[in-house]
């Protein structure tokens, strides 16, 4: 195969652009876990204190209101979302918002598993948001703040009224620490460490407003709840969950890693600094897209483009004229070429999303690495375009 351009001379120092688990914070080594309380019970006094420190750092760095509760729960962000939905939905009608695969997953849970009677689903295709003005806030509302698999986020919380009757249940897993979550508009917020913190998987964070706690204590769902979903006992919130006594055994290695990541976030200036780093990463990609004729954002509206999970589509007319399977093959070949070159790992678009690339640009990623990556994308595209057109000739 004939190369159409010379490979760039400089590679990103860190080729990890996966959208989860994401890149570790700059300077991370395994030595950051040297003091992890391995071999200790998670219920021992020092281990519980470390878990409580993780909760306290979450409140400080994420700027969670003092009257909101923070708990560490099983099964990553998925577990946190499902725990609340199974425990609290059904008290009133529900509006489900979906514009990518994870939002679709919550719709499936509510419609096919919980089988609630009064459910409205507001959907939009990949690249767009549903009509936020159509949401009925007399009902509960379930939505993702940032669509990890589409690169489309809500622009702000202005569309959510302060005097809403229902609860807002927000999957914020790829938004937390990188985007401005308006907690006054959110009753339930969930995320996982493996996204914007570059942490380890398996554990989820569940944040509850006083209104969410009230719902849990006043509504008893007419369905069995597995032990790991139970947030109340005898009609009262199990407060220990939000004070460091987890529902099941947590990994003290993961706790240590999360503490390390948040300590780093605090050291660079806290939430605003972490958001600024993600914004700078997005700005670098945005400037490149503006001057590059073969690529564009999947998200159509600039204000709705994610600064973390940045999804790109190939727009070159010679490629878009090819059958979809050929377009997919080109994108896959680009991803493979960059992986083999040690330039970028795991940047293929999500399996259910339109064909393209997905680059994680959260705060743990260095802007200098994003800048070094971009010429390599041009190189990989040029080479694979030449190859696929030659094969099609």
What are the tens digits of pLDDT across the range 357-384?
A: 999 999 999 999 999 999 999 999 999 9
**Does one domain contain both 100 and 233?**
yes
125 neighbors 182 (Cβ within 8 angstroms): no
* Secondary structure of residue 360 in the 3-state scheme: strand
- If phi > 0 it is left, if psi is from -120 to 50 it is alpha, else beta; for residue 108 that is alpha
Q: Please choose, from the candidates 391, 303, 357, 320, the residue with its C-alpha nearest in 3D space to the C-alpha of residue 150.
A: 357
Of the three residues 248, 267, 286, the one that is the final residue of a domain is 267
Task: Report the number of distinct structural domains present in the chain.
Answer: 2
Which CATH number characterizes residue 384's domain?
3.90.1150.10
Give the model's pLDDT for residue 5. 82
Residue stretches of the chain with pLDDT short of 50: 1-3
Is residue 49, in this structure, part of any structural domain at all?
Answer: yes
43 in a domain, yes or no? yes
Exposure string for 95-104, b = 16+ CB within 10 A, e = fewer? bbbbbbbbbb
Q: Is residue 17 part of a domain?
A: no
In a domain, 329, yes or no: yes
Cβ neighbours around 389 below 10 Å, total: 14
Q: Identify whether residues 279 and 206 lie together within a single domain.
A: no
Q: Can you give the CATH number for the domain in which 152 is found?
A: 3.40.640.10
User: What confidence score (pLDDT) does residue 4 get?
Assistant: 59
pLDDT of residue 166: 98
108, 250: one domain: yes
pLDDT at 392 (0 to 100): 85
The reply to whether 86 and 100 lie within a common domain is: yes
Q: Is residue 334 part of a domain?
A: yes
Distance, CA of 151 to CA of 132 (rounded, Å): 17
Q: How far is it, in rounded angstroms, from Cα 115 to Cα 344?
A: 42
Give SS3 for 123. strand
Q: Provide the domain limits for residue 39.
A: 30-267
Residues 237 and 325 in one domain: no
Reported as a single tens digit per residue, the pLDDT across 333-366 is 999 999 999 999 999 999 999 999 999 999 999 9
Q: What are phi and psi of 329, to 5 degrees?
A: -65, -40
Between the alpha carbon of residue 292 and those of residues 181, 286, 306, the distances in Å are 32, 10, 19
List, in sequence order, the alpha helices (H) in the chain.
45-62, 76-88, 101-108, 210-218, 252-267, 271-291, 317-320, 324-340, 367-392
8 occurs within a structural domain: no
Task: Mark which of 224, 248, 267 sits at the end of a domain.
Answer: 267
- 351 within domain boundaries: yes
Q: Mean pLDDT of all residues in the chain? A: 97
Whether residue 217 contacts residue 235, with contact meaning beta carbons closer than 8 Å, is answered with yes
Q: How big is the chain by its Cα radius of gyration, in Å?
A: 22
**Whole-number Å distance between alpha carbons of 302 and 24:** 28
Same domain, 217 and 317: no
- Among residues 267, 282, 311, the one where a domain terminates is 267
Structure-block tokens of residue 10 = 């400089």
Residues 176 and 277 in one domain: no
> CB count, 10 Å around CB of 343?
24
In a shared domain, residues 320 and 365: yes
Q: 353 with 234, same domain?
A: no
Q: Is there a single domain that holds both residue 172 and residue 213?
A: yes
Do 259 and 275 share a domain, yes or no?
A: no
CA distance linking residue 385 with residue 90, whole number of Å:
51
Residues 312 and 221 in one domain: no
Within a domain: residue 220?
yes
């Amino acid at each position: 195969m004939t190369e159409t351009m010379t490979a760039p001379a400089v590679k990103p120092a860190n080729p990890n652009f996966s959208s989860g688990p994401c890149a570790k914070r700059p300077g991370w080594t395994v030595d950051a876990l040297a003091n992890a309380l391995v071999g200790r019970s998670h219920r021992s006094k020092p281990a519980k204190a470390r878990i409580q420190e993780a909760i306290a750092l979450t409140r400080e760095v994420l700027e969670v209101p003092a009257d909101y509760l923070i708990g560490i729960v099983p099964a990553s962000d998925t577990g946190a979302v499902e725990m609340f939905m199974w425990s609290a939905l059904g008290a009133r009608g529900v509006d489900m918002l979906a514009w990518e695969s994870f939002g679709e997953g919550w719709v499936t849970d509510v419609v096919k598993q919980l089988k609630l009677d009064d459910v409205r689903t507001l959907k939009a295709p990949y690249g767009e948001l549903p009509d936020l003005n159509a949401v009925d806030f007399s009902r509960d509302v379930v939505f993702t703040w940032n669509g990890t698999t589409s690169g489309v986020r809500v622009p702000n919380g202005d569309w959510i009224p302060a005097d809403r009757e229902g609860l807002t249940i927000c999957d914020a897993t790829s938004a937390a620490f990188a985007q401005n979550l308006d907690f006054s508009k959110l009753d339930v917020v969930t995320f996982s460490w493996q996204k914007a913190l570059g942490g380890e998987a398996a554990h989820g964070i569940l944040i509850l407003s006083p209104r969410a706690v009230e719902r849990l204590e006043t509504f008893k769902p007419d369905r069995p709840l597995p032990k790991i979903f139970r947030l109340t006992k005898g009609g009262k919130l199990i407060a220990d969950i939000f004070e460091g006594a987890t529902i099941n055994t947590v990994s003290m290695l993961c706790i240590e890693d999360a503490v390390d990541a948040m300590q780093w976030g605090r050291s660079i200036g806290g939430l605003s600094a972490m958001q600024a780093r993600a914004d700078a990463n997005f700005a670098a990609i945005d400037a490149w897209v503006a001057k590059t004729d073969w690529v564009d954002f999947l998200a159509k509206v600039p204000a709705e483009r994610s600064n973390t999970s940045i999804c790109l589509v190939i727009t070159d007319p010679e490629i878009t004229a090819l059958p979809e399977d050929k377009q997919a093959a080109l994108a896959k070949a680009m991803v493979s070429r960059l992986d083999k070159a040690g330039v970028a790992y795991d940047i293929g678009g999500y399996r259910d999303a339109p064909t393209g690339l997905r680059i994680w640009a959260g705060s743990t990623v260095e802007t200098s690495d994003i800048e070094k990556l971009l010429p390599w994308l041009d190189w990989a595209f040029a080479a694979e375009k030449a190859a696929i057109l030659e094969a099609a000739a």
